[in-house]
Amino acid sequence: MNASLTETALSRIRADVRAMHAYTVQAADGLLKMDAMENPFGLPPALQAALGQRLGALALNRYPGPRTEVLRDALARHAGMPEGCALMLGNGSDELISLVALACARPGAQVLAPLPGFVMYGMSAQLQGLGFTGVALTPDFELDAAAMEAAIAQHRPAITYVAYPNNPTATLWDDTAVLRTIDAAGAQGGIVVIDEAYQPFASRTWLDRMRAEPARHGHVLLMRTLSKFGLAGVRLGYLMGPAALVHEIDKVRPPYNVSVLNSEAALFALEHADVFAAQAAELRAGRDLLVAQLRALPGVLKVWDSEANMVLLRVPDAARTFEGMKNRKVLVKNVSTMHPLLAGCLRLTVGRAADNAQMLAALQASL
């Protein structure tokens, strides 16, 4: 291989891309994986067999067809999509975030989001050539409405993200603060994306607000994923909002972006939504117990309330505790260097009762 040709070819890649770090997934072989907010429950054996038969009968030699439309209709019914709205599909919510940025990528366009928050908001903005502004949460990870209003007035963002609940803090922000942010973005002619990735574990949904005040939400899109529903491996997300807005964003969606396997697996899951709802209920109960146990653990400095399938806590030495847990075969997420507000923080996934007990024991031994 000619190294000089490779180096010349590398010069064609954008300098900011070459300076980036790729999104990495921690190796988890031999470890209890509690770092990625995955649903720990698989399908019951009978449903596994039924799904396998159904997927095996698909015409994989054909491009995705009408079943994609059936899935869109099924998701709209499942979510209770408001009148006047449309729905588009994405290969996970990551692709939807990228498509919204691509559709709004005009010279000088800006994206704004609270920090700490989901890293893909800023990454997608950079890759599509938009500027990105992060607005710090309060020290207790609440949405700072006044700071959001000031930043929106200054930067006039094309897109403002509001995660509801937020990752990695697991907080479900005060509705008044969210409404102030939505109104401020609307006054500047911007789009607001409400990210409800963790909705199966939250006590409320912003869709209720959208139904109650449709005129106030004429610039609001709501995004969800089936990853936290229990289908992380299927990679399917969906975006709902005013039909005129969704139809424009849908124009930049690659054709056939959702495979026939993804679509059929998602349809199967929706037909058995009660199974996944029971799993979510068990995880919510386990989360509440885990939060109480963590708060009783000597050496844990703070544990935040959670409305997701994760729990954020602060310990005296996050790096040492993380390594101690890993040495004890439990993998969690060390978020302490992601943002100054997260100093000393670890993020734990909520799992099955046995998983939570093993994680708790590893944490206690590592503090």
pLDDT of residue 5: 87
CA distance 256 to 65: 8
The pLDDT tens digits of the residues spanning 170-188 come to 999 999 999 999 999 999 9
**Residues 216, 125 within the same domain:** yes
Rounded distance between C-alpha atoms, residue 81 and residue 314, angstroms: 38
Q: 202 and 246: one domain?
A: yes
User: Does 163 fall in a domain?
Assistant: yes
CA distance 189 to 219: 8
Angle between helices 66-79 and 260-271 (to 10 degrees): 40
Number of residues written out for the chain: 367
- Residues 87 and 190 occupy one common structural domain: yes
Domain that holds residue 359: 21-45+274-366
**How high does pLDDT run on average in the chain?**
95
pLDDT digits (tens, 9 = 90+) for 109-118: 999 999 999 9
| CA 336 to centroid of chain Cα atoms | 19
Domain presence at residue 141? yes
Question: Among 236, 271, 306, which residue terminates a domain?
Answer: 271
Same domain, yes or no: 212 and 327 = no
Within-domain flag for 199:
yes
Please give the pLDDT value at position 229: 84
For residue 28, is pLDDT > 90?
no
Last residue of a domain, one of 271, 298, 314: 271
**Are 347 and 204 part of one and the same domain?**
no
The pLDDT value given to residue 50? 96
Tell me the pLDDT band of 228, cut-offs 50, 70 and 90. Answer: confident
In percent, the amount of the chain with pLDDT more than 90 equals: 89
Cα–chain center distance at 343: 22
Amino acid letter, residue 287 = R
Domain count for the chain: 2
- Is 58 within the bounds of a domain? no
Residues 283 and 265 in one domain: no
pTM: 0.94
pLDDT band per the 50, 70, 90 thresholds, residue 56: very high
Of 255, 271, 287, the domain-final residue: 271
Let me know if residue 339 belongs to a domain: yes
Q: Which of 158, 95, 168 is nearest to 137 (CA)?
A: 168
Residue 30 scores a pLDDT above 90: no
- Among 248, 247, 244, 175, residue whose Cα is nearest residue 212: 175
Q: Tell me: do 131 and 33 sit in the same domain.
A: no
pLDDT digits (tens, 9 = 90+) for 58-107: 999 999 989 999 999 999 999 999 999 999 999 999 999 999 999 999 99
Residues 6+ apart with CB under 8 A from 204: 172
State whether 359 and 281 are in the same domain: yes
Regarding whether 223 and 121 lie in a shared domain, the answer is yes
Other Cβ atoms less than 10 A from the Cβ of 205: the count is 18
Residues 33 and 120 occupy one common structural domain: no
- Whether residue 157 is found in the same domain as residue 296: no
**145 has pLDDT over 90:** yes
